Amino acid sequence: MGISGLIGAVKEAQESVHISRFKGKTLGIDGYVWLHKGAFGCSEDIVLEKPTNKYVLYFIKKIRLLQHFGVEPYVVFDGGPLISKKKTELEREMNRKNNTDRGIDLLKQGKRKEAMSYFQKGVNITPLLAKAVIEELKKEKINYIVAPYEADAQLAFLEKNGIIDGIITEDSDLVVFGCKKVIFKLNDGGFGVLFDRDNLRLVKDIPLKGWDDNMFRKMCILSGCDYLDSVHGVALKRSCKYLQRSSDIQKIVQIMKGEGLKVPNTYVQDFQRAEKTFMYQKVFDPIVKKLRSLEEIRPEHIDPDMDYIGENIDDTLAYLISIGEVDPISKQPFGSYEHTNGKIHEKIKVHSKSEPENRLLMRWLKPTDSKDINESKMENLLDMEIETKSECKHLDSSRRLSTGCKICNGGDVYKQNIISKRSESEIIGSTNRNNPTITTSKYFGSQAKKLSIGFEIKAKPSQGSSNSGMTVNGRETSQTKLSFQTISVGNNSSTLGSGFQQQTRFQTLSIPNSVIEAVETPKRKLSFSPSFTIKKKPF
C-alpha cells in the first residue's frame, strides 16, 4: 500500500509528535486503515461469517483517543474501485482468497493457531463492515464521509479545501497526493510520526531541492505505485536521477531503453494515466454536495475517455454513497444487514417459520426501528432449554458464594439433570415477546443496542423441600425474572460488575421483575448462576 521506500526516503521531513499538538484541530482519518487493524483481532469471525463487533469497538476506541486530546475526527471511507487499480485489486483479491482457503484447510485439521495467521491475511474489508462503523459514528455525531472512489483522494481534497487540518493514515500515497501534514504510526498513547511537506527541502537521500509537487509525483510513479508497476530495476533513487536529466516521460523511456531496461510498449500512456489519476481523481464535495475532480482538469490533459479517474455518477447517487446509505461498489441501497463476507457461510439451523430476512432477534446491529422488530415474528425465534447444575454446600448452608469453590465461581458444570421435555412438572422457560423494546447500554465509551425481552422461569419444588420455589443466586423464589447482559459480541463476553475483565462466561443479575438484555454471541451456551445454566439452541 503506497510507494515502496518513500517514508524512509523522506525521514528528514518527519518528526515524532503527540496528537495533543492538534488540539482544537480537525484530523481526517483513513477509515479503512483502522478497519483493517480492528479486523485483525477478529479475522476468523469475519472470514467465517460469525457475528462480531470487535472491529467496531476498536474503531470507536481510536476515536475516543482523539477526542480525549481535543482533536475532532473526520472519518473518510473508501468507495468503489478505480479502473486504474483493476490489476492491483485483482491481485489482492486472489491473495485474500488463497489465504482464506488455506486458513479453512488448517482449521479443519485442528490447527487453529496457524489458521489465524492466514485469516488475518485473507480478511476482506467490505462496505458492510464500514457501514457498521458508520452507524456508531452517527450515534456519536462524528463527521464522516464515504468517498466515491478512493479515500486518499477524498482526504487530499478535504485538506486542500481547509475542511481538515491534517490526516491520519498508514498509506504513503497521501504524500504523493500533495497532502501537507500526515500522521503515520499513531499508537494507543497518541504518539505518532508527523510528515510535514514544508520540510521536504531537508531531505538528503534524494535531491528534492527546487522540485515542485509535479516532479515529486513523477518520481513516485516512476518508482512504482498502485496505478502503474515500475520498470524492473527502477526504484526511488534511480527514478530521481532520470528526472534530473529530463522531466519528459517519453525521453525518460528512451534513457531507460538505452540502459537495457525492458519497458512495456504502453508505458508512456500508462504513466500519463497514473499521473492524471493522482491529479484529477473523482471526489465528493461535501459543501456543495456534488461530484467533482480533485483538481480542475487542464485542457491539455482532457482525454476522450477518462473513466480511469473515476466514472461519472449522478450527484444524488454520489451524495447517498457519501452518507453511507448506498453501497459504493454495487450502487444499491444498504438493506437490513446480516454479516456477509464472500461465499463462506456457517449453516445455522433455524427453529422458526420466519424468513431469513426477519431474523432480527439477536443481531447486534440495530434494526431500522422498533417496528421492524415487532414485524419479525420473534415469538418463533427463541427456543431455550434449561439445564440444572448441582448446588454446592455453600449454597445449601450459608446461601453465599465462596471464592474458593469451583461451582460458586462458575467452574465446571455439574449436571444434576437435563430438562429436555416441557411439562407442568418440569422447569419451563417462557417469554413475553409481544412488546420487545430496544435499550441502550454504554460500555468502553461506546454504545450497544440490546433487545429487551421479559423472561420468566418457573420450577417444580425441589425434592425434600417444602418450599415451592427454586434457588437463584442464593434466593428462593417461586417465580422470578432473570436479567443477563453481554457487553461484547464475539468469542468472549465481559463479566458484568467486575471491571469489565474479559471472561468466557456470563454473570447473572438475579433481580425480580427485571428483563433479559442480550445480543448475539457465537457461543451457544450461556452460563449464569451456580444453580442452573441457560442454553440457547442453535437457530
Q: How far apart are CA 76 and CA 278, in angstroms?
A: 17
Which residues, other chains included, contact 61 with Cβ-Cβ below 8 Å and sequence gap of 6+? 188, 444, 445, 446
Q: Which three three-digit cell numbers place residue 359?
A: 431474523
Residue 462 burial class via C-beta count within 10 angstroms: exposed 0-12, middle 13-18, buried 19 and up: middle
- Dihedral sign for Cα 120, 126, 129, 133, please: positive
Q: How far apart are CA 421 and CA 430, in angstroms?
A: 13
DSSP states of 91-142 = HHHHHHHHHHHHHHHHHHTT-HHHHHHHHHHH----HHHHHHHHHHHHHHT-
Which residues, other chains included, contact 305 with Cβ-Cβ below 8 Å and sequence gap of 6+? none
Which residues, other chains included, contact 392 with Cβ-Cβ below 8 Å and sequence gap of 6+? 402, 405, 407, 408, 530
Residue with cell 458508520: 134
Residue type for position 334: F
CA-closest candidate to residue 387, choices 455, 456, 459: 459
Residue with cell 464522516: 144
Torsions phi, psi for 200 (to 5 deg): -60, -30
Q: Each residue's pLDDT tens digit in the chain (539 positions)?
A: 679 899 999 999 999 999 999 999 999 999 999 999 999 889 889 988 899 999 999 999 999 999 999 999 999 999 999 987 877 888 888 999 999 999 999 988 989 888 888 998 888 999 999 999 999 999 999 999 999 999 999 999 999 999 999 999 999 999 999 999 999 999 999 999 999 999 998 998 888 888 899 999 999 999 999 999 999 999 999 999 999 999 999 999 999 999 999 999 999 999 999 999 999 999 999 999 999 999 999 998 998 889 999 999 999 999 999 999 999 999 999 874 444 443 333 322 222 223 322 222 222 222 233 333 232 322 222 222 222 333 344 433 333 434 444 334 333 322 222 222 222 222 223 333 333 333 333 332 333 333 333 333 333 333 443 433 333 333 433 333 333 333 222 333 333 332 222 222 333 323 233 333 333 333 333 333 323 333 333 32
CA-closest candidate to residue 419, choices 464, 386, 382, 447: 386
Q: How far apart are CA 351 and CA 286, in angstroms?
A: 46
CA-closest candidate to residue 275, choices 206, 216, 231, 322: 216
For the chain, list the domains and their CATH numbers. 208-280 (1.10.150.20), 356-536 (no CATH)
